Structure 1
Amino acid sequence: MKERISASSFIRFPTEPEPISVDLLRSSVIVVDMQNVFLSPGGMFDIIGFNVLKFRRIIKPVKNVLDYSRKLGLKIIYLRQAYSPDLSDSGGPESPSYWKVRSLVLLREKPDLKDKSSIKGAWGAEIIDEVKPLPEEPVIDKQRYSGFVNTKLEEVLRNMNIKYLFFVGIFLNVCVESTIRDAFFRDFWPIVISDCCEAVGSKYAKNVSLWNISNLFGWTITSRKYIRALKKEAAKI
């Protein structure tokens, strides 16, 4: 059963590097690329040798955050990397994305992995079962690292009167951070739930990305502190 967010909806979150007050009525959890292609055994990233078990460690805290956010009535929005079957929306050889986005390069090198990839309609492009969106929750497809580029994300957020964005998902140092930077430039307030995100690459990548975000583009918080703050608010209702 959902609790109703009270009219006095500003609450203080113990974010880093400093606490901030957030209006829950104008807040959303943004779920980034929690897809089979990146996270599931048998997905493209698993097949080519990435440690998906490491990536999957975020699933439980992400689920906890979503469950409790829904209980309090916060809006949830999903971002999903998804290309048309002919890759016409990938930019083509004139676009740097064509050469630098790992999944696009792999699709050209290993076309037999199509169903394991982020092609629309493929199993790989689907959100993992553990954190599936509810029917009323928007799922916005993107073809660039940032969820704001060539999508309706900003329009959806403005129409919902959303200002504060809590981010979960992968990869922190790629699509999550890219979307956070664009959110910051558009005067949204980005907050990363740190144990609900994982980075790809160097063992230092996650800490570097968290430093960038907390010092330059937003704030960070753990899932435990996030949920604790929401529970404290729910107790007042």
Structure 2
Amino acid sequence: MAVAPPPPLAVTINAQPQTVTLDLHRTVLIVVDMQNDFCAKDGWVDHLGVDYSPDRAPIEPLQRLLPVLRAAGVHVIWLNWGNRPDLKNMPPNQLHLYKPKGVGIGLGEPLPGSGARVLQKDSWAAAVVDELKQEPEDIHVDKYRISGFWDTPLDSILRNLGTRTILFAGVNTDQCVLHSLTDANFLGYGCVLVEDCCATTSPDFCVEATLFNVRKCFGFVTHSSQVMEALRQPSR
């Protein structure tokens, strides 16, 4: 019943508002909602007439960062919308929020052309974009709200891994990334937002407010290059 924890492996990362030292063996990367519905042509955001291209910005930095983190023993968690086909755990207020005018295509409804159902688990719509490679050892958690901690096993998984620090990436910076990060902060995890590995289709002022509040109240902000530089110089 007692498993010896791995020895600490400390690294120090340049960040704002100050540098942070974390234990790689107790750190995970959570990648939020890098899914076709948000980041791909013919996905939900594209169908809504919103320019989805900003949500693709994290793809290239994540392509560089993910292999480096995995090689360092950091767990990668894909935290994605993955609705039940019957939407039985989605209350009316949540369905209304994503179809505010009562018309158009909302959660669980088929997209034109492909027929993929919006953010439904195991559909093309909810799949991670092809450009981001998932490995067998990666962990997948379905979520059903803006925060990935609500009504999901995420917290239990993190605690079983012995996690103390979470690196956050994905979309949208000011929505699902931010609110998953704030809930993690309230639960006692150290939170580091990897700025260039996050993006949003919201106006620029939303990003500015998010970064300001993360730095002021909820954690730290860094860049993927700073993380990779720290991994090249571990301070044991």
TM-score clears 0.5: yes
> 1:155-199 CA distances to partner (integer Å, 9 max, x unpaired)?
000000011000010001100000111000010001000010012
Residues in 1 aligned to 2:103 and 2:194: alpha-carbon distance in whole angstroms? 30
Match of 1:36 in 2: 36
Higher helix share: 1
The answer to whether the 8 Å contact 1:29/1:165 transfers is yes
Mind listing any 5+ residue stretches in structure 2 that lack a counterpart?
A: 1-5
Mapping of 1:81-230 within 5 angstroms? 81-91=81-91, 93=92, 95=93, 97-101=94-98, 106-108=104-106, 111-113=109-111, 115=116, 117-230=118-231
> 1:74-125 CA distances to partner (integer Å, 9 max, x unpaired)?
111110101111221211x2x3x22223699753499441505201221010
Residues in 2 aligned to 1:212 and 1:159: alpha-carbon distance in whole angstroms? 29
The answer to whether the 8 Å contact 1:98/1:105 transfers is no
Q: Which amino acid aligns with 2:194?
A: I
Residues in 1 aligned to 2:99 and 2:165: alpha-carbon distance in whole angstroms? 30
Which shifted more, 187-196 or 56-65?
A: 56-65
Match of 1:3 in 2: none
The answer to whether the 8 Å contact 2:31/2:77 transfers is yes
Mapping of 1:48-59 within 5 angstroms? 48-59=48-59
Q: Which amino acid aligns with 1:155?
A: S
- State the secondary structure of the residue aligned to 2:232: helix
Residues in 2 aligned to 1:24 and 1:194: alpha-carbon distance in whole angstroms? 19
CA 1:126–1:174: 2 relative to 1, 3 Å: same
Match of 1:14 in 2: 14
CA 1:134–1:105: 2 relative to 1, 3 Å: farther
- State the secondary structure of the residue aligned to 1:220: strand
**Which consecutive aligned stretches of 4+ in structure 1 deviate over 4 angstroms post-superposition?**
102-106
Residues in 2 aligned to 1:165 and 1:109: alpha-carbon distance in whole angstroms? 28
Residues in 2 aligned to 1:155 and 1:110: alpha-carbon distance in whole angstroms? 27
Residues in 2 aligned to 1:51 and 1:185: alpha-carbon distance in whole angstroms? 33
Cα RMSD between the aligned structures?
A: 2.2
The answer to whether the 8 Å contact 1:42/1:116 transfers is no
Residues in 1 aligned to 2:108 and 2:132: alpha-carbon distance in whole angstroms? 28
> 1:137-164 CA distances to partner (integer Å, 9 max, x unpaired)?
1100010111110000000000000110
- State the secondary structure of the residue aligned to 1:207: helix
- State the secondary structure of the residue aligned to 1:196: strand
CA 1:190–1:106: 2 relative to 1, 3 Å: farther
The TM-score with structure 2 as length reference comes to 0.89
Q: CA deviation at 1:26?
A: 0.4
The answer to whether the 8 Å contact 1:173/1:205 transfers is yes
CA 1:108–1:168: 2 relative to 1, 3 Å: closer
Residues in 1 aligned to 2:185 and 2:126: alpha-carbon distance in whole angstroms? 27
Mind listing any 5+ residue stretches in structure 1 that lack a counterpart?
A: 1-5
The answer to whether the 8 Å contact 1:165/1:190 transfers is yes
The aligned length equals 227
- State the secondary structure of the residue aligned to 1:123: coil
Residues in 1 aligned to 2:165 and 2:119: alpha-carbon distance in whole angstroms? 28
The TM-score with structure 1 as length reference comes to 0.89
- State the secondary structure of the residue aligned to 2:83: coil
